[in-house]
Amino acid sequence: MARPVVILDFGAQYAQLIARRVREIGFFSVIVPFDTPLTEIRRMGAAAVILSGGPRSVYDDGSPLPAEDLMASGLPILGICYGMQAIAHLLGGDLVPAHTREYGRVTLATRAPSVLFGDEEGERTVWMSHGDTVQSPPPGFRTTASTGSVPVAAMEDPARGLFGVQFHPEVVHTEGGREILRRFLIHGAHLSQDWRMGDAIAEGIAAIRRTVGDEKAMVALSGGVDSSVAAALVERAIGKNLIAVFVDHGLMRQGEGDVVEEAFTRTFPSTFRRIDASDRFIAALAGVVDPERKRRIIGELFIEVFREVARGIGDVPYLVQGTLYPDVIESGTSQAAVIKSHHNVGGLPAELGFKLVEPLRDLFKDEVRQMGRELGLPAALVDRQPFPGPGLAIRIVGEVTRDRLDLLRAADAIVREEVETEALAQGLWQYFAVLPGARSVGVMGDGRTYDEAIVVRAVTSEDGMTADWARLPHGLLDRLASRLVGEVRGVNRVLYDITSKPPGTIEWE
């Protein structure tokens, strides 16, 4: 297995983006808490360390700092934003609260020669988000970049393998940011690009075999990209000992349950089984309006149904889930607040009755798609838009009922049809309808109506961690409004969501 680039998380908004960029360059990366001991970092086989940004000041009481012995460990280290300030603070640099705080795009002047910037000397646009400022670097460091208000915007001590940048090279707004990370890893840390998806597949298969052995495992299939790729990977590892189970919770899109059954009956002809539990899920959600409670109910009921299936089969100790890294982060970690409890992470009951196998837990969505292609899954499955495990329950604000599900299914089918007809689907991350639970007065057929609004949501994204609202053509929006009001009984108003993530999330609940 490739030696990882270890990212110490100081509560950064962009820690996951750093991990993605490092992997894109060709190095395996993992994120761990800021206070991970050096002994543990060495046990992981760290090839280099990156200190993330964070919202705190190094002068705050109880401010997070890395292990004291990390700076003298000999490991190559890059500090980003707060990470650079931590390096300066620990090694004797002059760090002060900034008179002028920098947020957003800033012009950076670089100085040559530099490991991170090469022989390029001049100006570039970078993305800043900081309060404290390094006035002078620690002994042994050289200043390699500055801005109009920050004298030390980058610093380096190549002899000790220590580097720092006050800006964020991991965001797309920073010119040449990926190249800066690449230069740190190749020229600063002297590493060779050694991580490929093929290696991840081989390592994943080997890990599954070590864990499951000759025992049986059940995969929770939803028909989405994540569970499908997880199933394909585990099937490579244990063959017919994998039992594929699709629990139809009645919260799917129009006709989707039949599509899933048709696809996986071919893939797993001897072990696939579809369980119709729609009545149970809808009954359990009756009267529930809190989104977190919805997710917990769905997660717990999924496990209950899987337990029943396992008892019918015999001894099935393992449950395979298509959990991804963004699921884990949004459900809350030691350094990240709970954004929403994913049904397969924060929504799980304390006592599962299974040992979990989550072979995709450290991967981002785009990496999972790549793995699916290399495993030979069809493009129609690998490239489909993400669909949440709790289904339409979290696209209905308020109580989930059969009537509201039927209304939303009809609306969502129109949104998907029109977007795909416009040939825009391939460039979008997700596009769907939401039932926000808002009624308004309308006029239809010379009569007064008091009906539901439908929100159309379409976003672009690379990995689902951040997203921007899609600029759909006005003609498409016009057709959507006309069809949704004209064809879906009970709808008299159409809205388009122009909120990015952050501050919003892609889903509404």
Task: Give the tokens for residue 130.
Answer: 């900081």
- Residue 99 has a pLDDT of 57
Residue 502 lies in a domain: no
DSSP per-residue letters across 76-127? -EEEETHHHHHHHHHHT-EEEEEEEEEEEEEEEEE-SSBTTTBT--EEEEEE
Tell me the residue range of the domain where 12 lies. Answer: 5-188
Contact between 467 and 460 (Cβ < 8 Å)? yes
Three-state secondary structure call for residue 181: helix
Based on the number of CB atoms within 10 Å of its own CB, is 140 exposed (0-12), middle (13-18) or buried (19 or more)? middle
Q: Which one of 60-64, 356-360, 433-437 scores highest in mean pLDDT?
A: 433-437
Residue 32 lies in a domain: yes
Count of H helices and E strands in the chain? 14, 19
Contact between 127 and 108 (Cβ < 8 Å)? no
**CB within 8 Å of 383: residues ≥ 6 apart:** 369, 426
Q: How many Cα atoms within 13 Å fall on the side-chain side of residue 479?
A: 13
Task: Give the tokens for residue 148.
Answer: 């109009």
Residue 336 lies in a domain: yes
Residue 27 lies in a domain: yes
Task: Give the tokens for residue 131.
Answer: 């309060």
> Count of domains in the chain?
3
Catalytic residues: 81, 168, 170
Q: Residue 117 — very low, low, confident or very high, per pLDDT cuts 50/70/90?
A: very high
Instruction: Indicate whether 10 and 153 sit together in one domain.
Output: yes
Instruction: Indicate whether 402 and 456 sit together in one domain.
Output: yes
Exposure b/e, 382-403, CB count within 10 A at least 16 = b: beebbbbbbbbbbbbbeebeee
Q: Residue 332 — very low, low, confident or very high, per pLDDT cuts 50/70/90?
A: very low
Select from 355, 382, 409 the last residue of a domain: 382
Rounded Cα distance, 330 and 346, in Å: 9
Q: Which residue from 178, 184, 192 is spatially nearest to 154, judged by alpha carbons?
A: 184
CA 232 to chain centre: 21
Residues 46, 48, 53, CA angle at the centre, nearest 5°?
Answer: 115
CATH number at residue 99: 3.40.50.880
Instruction: Indicate whether 330 and 418 sit together in one domain.
Output: no
Instruction: Indicate whether 143 and 286 sit together in one domain.
Output: no
Instruction: Indicate whether 238 and 262 sit together in one domain.
Output: yes
Q: Residue 103 — very low, low, confident or very high, per pLDDT cuts 50/70/90?
A: low
Residue 387 lies in a domain: no
Instruction: Work out the average pLDDT over 4-19.
Output: 88
CATH number at residue 212: 3.40.50.620
- Residue 16 has a pLDDT of 81
The pLDDT of residue 223 is above 80 = no
Give the global pTM. 0.69
Q: Residue 348 — very low, low, confident or very high, per pLDDT cuts 50/70/90?
A: low
Instruction: Indicate whether 250 and 338 sit together in one domain.
Output: yes
Instruction: Indicate whether 142 and 201 sit together in one domain.
Output: no
Select from 322, 347, 382 the last residue of a domain: 382
Three-state secondary structure call for residue 480: helix
Instruction: Indicate whether 311 and 203 sit together in one domain.
Output: yes
Residue 389 lies in a domain: no
The pLDDT of residue 109 is above 60 = yes
Q: Where are the alpha helices (DSSP H) in 239-277?
A: 256-267
Q: Residue 101 — very low, low, confident or very high, per pLDDT cuts 50/70/90?
A: low
Ranges 110-124, 199-213, 255-269, 274-288: which has the least confidence? 255-269
Residue 63 lies in a domain: yes
The values of phi and psi at residue 52, to 5°, are -75, 175
**CB within 8 Å of 205: residues ≥ 6 apart:** 233, 236, 237
- Residue 54 has a pLDDT of 86
Rounded Cα distance, 433 and 417, in Å: 12
- Residue 12 has a pLDDT of 78
Residue 507 lies in a domain: no
- Residue 387 has a pLDDT of 85
Rounded Cα distance, 337 and 85, in Å: 23
Instruction: Indicate whether 416 and 475 sit together in one domain.
Output: yes
CATH number at residue 481: 3.30.300.10
Instruction: Indicate whether 95 and 28 sit together in one domain.
Output: yes
The pLDDT of residue 474 is above 80 = yes
Q: Between these two residues, 150 and 184, which has the higher pLDDT value?
A: 184
Instruction: Indicate whether 182 and 73 sit together in one domain.
Output: yes
CA 504 to chain centre: 14
Select from 352, 382, 412 the last residue of a domain: 382
The pLDDT of residue 341 is above 60 = no
| Beta strands at 447-460 and 468-469: parallel, antiparallel or unpaired | antiparallel
Instruction: Indicate whether 217 and 330 sit together in one domain.
Output: yes
